[in-house]
Amino acid sequence: MSFDGFLSIKSPTFYQKSMDKTDQNWRFVWSDDVSKIYLKEDSKKINENIIKFEALTDYIDTSPQWDSFSKKANGLSEIENVSFDCAHKKYRSLGGSWFEGHLAKGLIKSTYTETENWSAIPIFYQTLYEMVCAQPFEHNQEKP
């Protein structure tokens, strides 16, 4: 498995620095025209090749793409409990919450439940996958 994307991750960006003021545990991972994705460092749980953690997606409502974003009615941010199978390059949502404000602030507008099946890693989580699956498995091991 290749982790070239992990090697190209740069040191803290503006987004990470501004997020650090909110919660030291959220680490900026990736962004596109409509969202910024963060990893909650202290939420990682590892059991063999499966890593579970929290991911925060903060949506950019000032982006030109926001008007056509299909999930904009859900909220301005969401926290998802994510599971990656690092050995098989698979993803499964363990459920999450949508928030009315940025950076998971304000009231929870809605929640969603976990998915039953594993699927391919979504494009927006590709860098996140490369980052968490490249880290050593000795840390944060779950007890059986």
Q: Evaluate whether 16 touches 111 at the Cβ level (below 8 Å).
A: no
Q: What is the pLDDT of residue 24?
A: 72
d(CA 30, CA 124): 8
Q: What is the pLDDT of residue 121?
A: 97
Structural domains counted in the chain: 1
Q: What is the span of the domain harbouring residue 92?
A: 4-134
- Report the Cα 7 to chain-centroid distance in Å: 18
> What is the residue-averaged pLDDT of the chain?
82
* Strand 90-99 with 35-40, pairing: unpaired
In a domain, 143, yes or no: no
In a domain, 110, yes or no: yes
d(CA 47, CA 84): 11
CATH number, domain with residue 119: 2.40.128.710
In a domain, 42, yes or no: yes
For 36-94, the pLDDT digits (tens) are: 999 998 999 999 899 999 999 999 999 999 988 888 899 999 999 999 999 999 999 99
In a domain, 122, yes or no: yes
pLDDT band at 144 (very low <50, low <70, confident <90, very high): very low
Kindly state the DSSP code that residue 115 receives in the 8-state scheme. P
